[in-house]
Amino acid sequence: MKRRWIAMALCGAMLAGVLSGCGGNDGGSAEGGDTAEREVFVVSDDEWYGTDPYQQDAWTSVQSMIADPLFTLNPDGGDLLDGLCTDLTISEDGLTMTMTVPEGKYYATGEQVEPEDVVASIEWGQEVSPYADGYSNIESMEVDGRNVIFHLSTFRSDLLYYLGECFMGVIDKDQLDSMTKDELMWGAVPYGMYSVEEYEPGSGVTLVANEGYKSDNPLVTNKGPAQIKRVEVKFNSNQEEFTILEEYKAGDIDMVSGGGFGSDSRSQLEGLEGFQIVGKSYPNIEYFELNTDEGSVFEDIAVRQAVALAIDRDALCALTDGDAVPAYSMIYDSVKNFSQEAKDDFMANYANDPERAKQILADAGYTDSDGDGYVEKDGAPLEFTFYTRSSGTSITIAQGLQEQMKDIGIQMNIESIDWNYVYENINNDAYDAGIEVLEWAEPILVLNSCYYDQDAPGNDDAYYAAVEDAASTVDSDERTAKIGEIQMEMFKNWNIIPFYSDVSYITYADYVKGLVVQADSSLYWNDLSF
């Protein structure tokens, strides 16, 4: 799965190469064979767009093989554990951060990782990264021995998230000083377990193990170089799913990640021996906004209330064959600073009560006077159009939602369009209701991005001031409480409705051992073996 900010375009100039024809699976098929003969790990993954993490706005889970982040995000709570750097300390006022760059960690080029590389890499990111705003509060940096010290203009919790994310790796300062932006796109060699040996645009990459690699990640056992020395990554973006499935079943692919398989392929694999299917969902929230402008059907808060209360998320998610799970808060359960209080508040007051929905409509004067199953008021039927994306789970769930709306007397029409147009229409107030999605493990990023309707109640200066206050709160428990309060205040307007969370999967052959999959979707390859 790619980690990306939905509205950003992909970028990158690619250098041509030749992908070697490695026969990595001579040992037999996925159903059996001599795994001792296997020397190359073959994985099907979404397309990569470069090796410089700072120039990317999309980075696949498998791409973490070539670049370690500065720290390791703890999947249980989201605090930072040791990674490339260690011993993070934060001053009481939150304005000074100190970290150590241990000796003995080497790039695949043979050069040792130095504290100056960390400083140069972050300065490069501040210049070119689409996510530079996330660490724009780093006012200055200094090196003291093996330590790097950040001086911040203000504390912001999202900086902690970025320090553990894929988009803040470390590149040798010598490379940054001597190579152009285009050269770095595919020529950068960030510190990681593997480096790119060969690249074929649109087809794949071949990776080789970095023998100078060392990790301080406490979530893995092997702290040294990779046990599997070569990896072949086949980009599946332009491949037919059937072709990938047949290669996988034949043992020509060891693992499928990214957008390789849908529910039909997974169903086939579930009936076969020799394969593992593992949920690996990056934190995401699918939600929808309701247009409350004058003249809109949702100007009447009673209608907004009825729509929210009528939704049976469990029933809708059951229609997707495991591709979605219910969501009852904007800051989803696996996101940092998740507030159980906010989730409980939504479940108790804004969800799962179709009988209350019907009563609210009746009390507001909506009745089915002509017996067609739909209510009307003052001669006008209660009807709205729901914009859904033209792919993915949103169509299936929208069709189920249409039936649930009918059950309370509301006629819901579905219009399926490209996701870009969904956002554009919402932003331009040219909509009734529309699906949206945000994929972030950091709550501040979600809260700062969730309003696309510029005129929506709640989308005001007071809201963003509250978000900024939460972001600048150093104590994590206090920040969680504030994030919960922000959501509970948001819910009162009944115009942003948390809906569900998409589920993604990886699948790998039984002979693949030691793959560490965390609850936040992080993959760690350190213990990987056959």
The pTM of the full predicted model, rounded to 2 decimals, is 0.81
**3-class secondary structure, 92:** coil
Contact criterion met (CB below 8 Å) for 409 and 358:
yes
For residues 125 and 135, what is the distance between their CA atoms, to the nearest angstrom?
A: 9
Domain ranges of the chain: 2-281+505-524, 285-502
Q: What angle do CA 462, 465, 471 make, to 5 degrees?
A: 145
**3-class secondary structure, 141:** strand
Half-sphere exposure of residue 225, counting CA atoms within 13 Å on the CB side? 14
Q: Residue 54: which of 138, 137, 121, 140 has the closest Cα? A: 121
Strands 80-81 and 72-73: antiparallel
Half-sphere exposure of residue 444, counting CA atoms within 13 Å on the CB side? 21
Contact criterion met (CB below 8 Å) for 280 and 504:
yes
Amino acid residing at 147: N
What's residue 36's pLDDT? Answer: 58
What's residue 259's pLDDT? Answer: 65
Length of the chain: 530
Work out the angle between the directed axes of helices 476-491 and 340-349 (0-180°, nearest 10). 20
| Topology annotation, domain 2-281+505-524 | D-Maltodextrin-Binding Protein; domain 2 (3.40.190)
Domain 285-502: which CATH number of 3.40.50.2020, 3.30.70.20, 3.10.105.10, 3.40.50.970: 3.10.105.10
What's residue 265's pLDDT? Answer: 85
Amino acid residing at 255: M
Angstrom CA distances, 155 to 78, 98, 160, 442, 445, stand at 17, 14, 10, 15, 15
Ranges of the chain with pLDDT below 70: 1-36, 77-78, 259-260
